[in-house]
Amino acid sequence: MKRILSIITICILSLTTFGKDNEIKLSSSIQEVTVFQQGAQVTRVARANIPVGTHALIFEGLFTGIDPAQLKVTGEGDFTILSMNHEYHTDTIAGWNGEEQRKRLQKERAALSEEISRENGWLDIYNREETMLSQNQVFGTKEEGVDLDKLKAAADFVRQRYIDIRQQRLAIQDRVATLTAKIAEIDLEYSLIPPIQTKQELRMIVRVKAKKAEVATFKLQYQVNNAGWYAGYDARVASIDQDLQLDYNAFVYQTSGEDWEDIELVISTGTPRQNKNKPKLSPWQLGQASQPVVQPNHGNHLQLNSGLKNATWNPNVRQVSGVVMDHNGRALSGASVSLGGTNTVVSTNAYGQYSINIPVNYGVLHFTYPGAITQTFNASGNTMNIYLQTSNGQANNGVTIQHDEVRMATLDVAEVQVLSHAPAATLNNEGALFSGRNRNKQDQAMEEERFTFASVQVAYTPTQTQFKIDAKYSIPSTGAKYAVQVSSFDLDADYLYQCVPKMDPTAYLTARLTGWEDLNLLSGNMNVYFEDTYVGQSQLDLSHLEDTLNISLGPDKNIHVKRKSIKSDQKDQMISGKTKDTRAWDIVVLNKKRSDINIRIEDQIPVTSNEEIEIEVESISGGSLSEESGIIVWDFSIKSNKEKSLTLKYSVRYPKEFVVKL
């Protein structure tokens, strides 16, 4: 019987020994991080000596915030990956050697507490005895009276007993105080023992089968959400006869839970969490009361809202547009979109469309509609289509729109977009003398050679551009922003001064750039420097620009503009019975700079819709006049230390009984 048991035991041990894979523990380090506008992809690298056979590779020390389902493991070598699984492991990293000391102190404290309890018991006995003595003060009886000898003996006894009780009570209190002090010392010593500290880590277990022994390299890739970057720029102009230097910077931040130390950094313009499917159009039928029906194009609308719920705030977003719909995909007219922390509220138009501007440091949007559950999302992208669950499941279909009103409703949103995103120094190209410099192919080739990518490798894909930074960076998980220079350009710019002397005699300089679309720029803040002086900060908004990018470089005190009235005359004309009011101004522009300049001066004459008021332009010194607006534009060049004079003269005729203020 014993022999059979021994054989069975040997078989079990043999199965246990040969059935278990050889475990190889590996540690990995972060080698490369690709940072998207929202989120990042982390690449860890580990190396291992793999013998022949089947082995379990245990990748230790991974951050518990990593989603194991999204972790991808690849390797280089002559082996096959059989399976992957994960586990969470907890280690005691400090305080484990203080357990014996804790037990000893706890035992000593319990003994002292027990001794204090005994002393308090004796104290209670003496208190009871003292109470008994105080309650028995009658000596003798009514029949026999008081025996003086017995009274004296009783008094001596009571007195001595009171003295003994008081002495015993003081002794007990002293001993209890001593014991209490010892307990306090034990509590202090106990508090100084280092606490037990544990650390939890994620472990990935990868089973591999190697045909031959070799050194293999493994890559672990996973996504993190609490990271991103936004664009920022430095625009520098040393003088108006030199190129504009534009430094393209990426401000990287992350709170992923693990520090990125000495890593290779890749800046990507992609957004992996953004929907990759195109919208789907539905038939648009017009009737007496009609609105386009937007069907859900991302599957279940609740899943779409769930995806937006999980999306993080993108500080690079400056405007959000989209459509607000009910759960059936029908547009909600009159839904409110408010920006958290501000008083900004916009309403959807007849088609459920909205557009709201997002200032810096704000990014929480609230979507409300009567009878619907309010939804709150982070401003995570420029387009956000929202579905609201209404109480009766019906959209407001009681809006009647005539055919002409449809166009106006469409223009409302478009006009808001254009007005809110107009560049600070938008130029009116109508009647302008100065356009982009003429460049032939040789000039363009020379310009491309001047584009310098400072230690950056640029890779293009159909959906994104990636900038691989040659220098290594360390970015801790603190949320602090780290500036990374993506590229630097020397751009051939046309410089134009602009002035409206009627309102402000200051001349403002604008740099006009063409071909900026090929620079892979994104909207962002821009610091402006002119002639080695910090001018201020501007916003580079690329949402609604055309072929020419205008960058305002601020005022220039070396350009002097004066507007002086040279005539103000009012006469009554006897024949026509009208009053003629003549006005004239002299505009003088002085260039105190060392180089020639191009400048645009704007002024205006009045316009009228009353046929009895006649306006006659007598002199505008060759300026370009818009008959509709009455605005006059002069575009000209001035050499260094020279001046140019312009004359603006016009007259207004109106009936004598009219009161016209000029």
DSSP secondary-structure letter at 77?
Answer: S
pLDDT value at residue 446: 42
Residue 406, pLDDT above cutoff 60: no
Confidence band for 609, pLDDT divided at 50, 70 and 90: confident
Q: Residue 430: CB partners within 8 Å, gap ≥ 6?
A: 624, 626, 633
Q: Which residue has the higher pLDDT, 578 or 601?
A: 601
pLDDT at 220 over 50: yes
Sorting pLDDT into bands at 50, 70 and 90, what band is 8? Answer: very low
- The CATH code of the domain at 301-400 is 2.60.40.1120
pLDDT tens-place string over residues 520-578: 788 788 888 988 888 888 777 776 556 778 888 888 889 999 999 988 777 766 566 78
Q: 44: pLDDT confidence band, cut at 50, 70 and 90?
A: very high
Lowest-confidence range among 39-48, 67-76, 175-184?
A: 67-76
Query: In the prediction, which pLDDT does 286 show?
Result: 63
pLDDT above 70: residue 658 = yes
Q: What is the pLDDT of residue 546?
A: 66
Residue 88 has pLDDT above 80, yes or no: yes
Q: For position 19, what pLDDT does the model report? A: 44
Average pLDDT, integer, range 202-223:
89
pLDDT 10s digits, 252-272 = 999 888 999 999 999 988 766
d(CA 492, CA 558): 23
The closest alpha carbon to 296, from 386, 396, 397, belongs to: 386
Dihedral class, residue 124 (left if φ above 0, else alpha if ψ from -120 to 50, else beta): alpha
Amino acid 302: pLDDT: 53
309 or 648, greater pLDDT: 648
Kindly indicate the confidence band of residue 214, based on its pLDDT and cuts at 50, 70 and 90: confident
More confident residue, 243 or 433: 243
For residue 512, the model assigns a pLDDT of 87
Instruction: Give pLDDT, residue 404.
Output: 32
Q: For residue 45, what pLDDT is reported? A: 93
User: For 319-378, what is each residue's pLDDT tens digit?
Assistant: 898 889 888 778 888 899 988 877 788 888 878 889 998 887 788 898 998 888 888 888
Residues 53-69, mean pLDDT to the nearest whole number: 87
Quote the pLDDT of residue 475. Answer: 92
Contact 146, 140 (CB under 8 A): yes
For residue 21, what pLDDT is reported? 64
For residue 295, pLDDT beyond 70: no
| Fold of the 559-655 domain | Immunoglobulin-like (2.60.40)
Of residues 295 and 388, the one with the higher pLDDT is 388
Radius of gyration of the CA atoms of the chain, in A: 43
Domain ranges of the chain: 21-95+199-225, 121-139+146-191, 228-269+429-555, 301-400, 559-655
Does the structure show a pLDDT above 70 at 602? yes
Strand partners, 632: 603, 625
Question: What percent of the chain clears pLDDT 70, i.e. is strictly above it?
Answer: 77
Which residue(s) pair with 55 in the sheet? 22, 208
Nearest to 384 by CA among 333, 463, 324: 324
- Given a cut of 70, whether residue 95 has pLDDT beyond it is no
Query: Residue 637's pLDDT is what?
Result: 94
Cα–Cα nearest to 29, from 61, 72, 76, 56:
61
Q: How confident is the model at residue 287 (pLDDT cuts 50, 70, 90)?
A: low
pLDDT of residue 400: 29
> What's the rounded mean pLDDT across residues 369-398?
73
Has residue 18 got a pLDDT over 50?
A: no
Mean pLDDT of 625-636: 93
pLDDT of residue 109: 92
**521: helix, strand or coil:** coil
Amino acid in the structure at residue 644: K
Full DSSP string of 126-173: HHHHHHHHHH----SBTTTB--HHHHHHHHHHHHHHHHHHHHHHHHHH
Two domains, one topology: 301-400 and 559-655: yes
Task: Name the average pLDDT for the chain.
Answer: 77
Residue 5: predicted pLDDT: 38
- Strands (DSSP E) along 211-258, which ranges? 214-224, 227-237, 244-254
The per-residue pLDDT for 182 is 93
Buried/exposed 116-147: b ≥16 CB within 10 Å, e otherwise: beebeeebeebeeeeeeeeeeeeeeeeeeeee
Of the CA atoms within 13 Å of residue 564, those in its CB half-sphere come to 7
Give the N- to C-terminal CA distance of the chain in Å, as an integer.
125
Residues 6 or more apart from 279 whose CB is under 8 A from it?
Answer: 297
pLDDT, average across residues 157-168? 87
Q: What are phi and psi of 277, to 5 degrees?
A: -100, 145
Q: Please indicate whether residue 472 or residue 543 has the higher confidence score (pLDDT).
A: 472
Is residue 177 scored above 90 in pLDDT? yes
* pLDDT, greater one: 307 or 262: 262
Q: What is the mean pLDDT of residues 297-316?
A: 65
Residue 639 corresponds to which amino acid? K
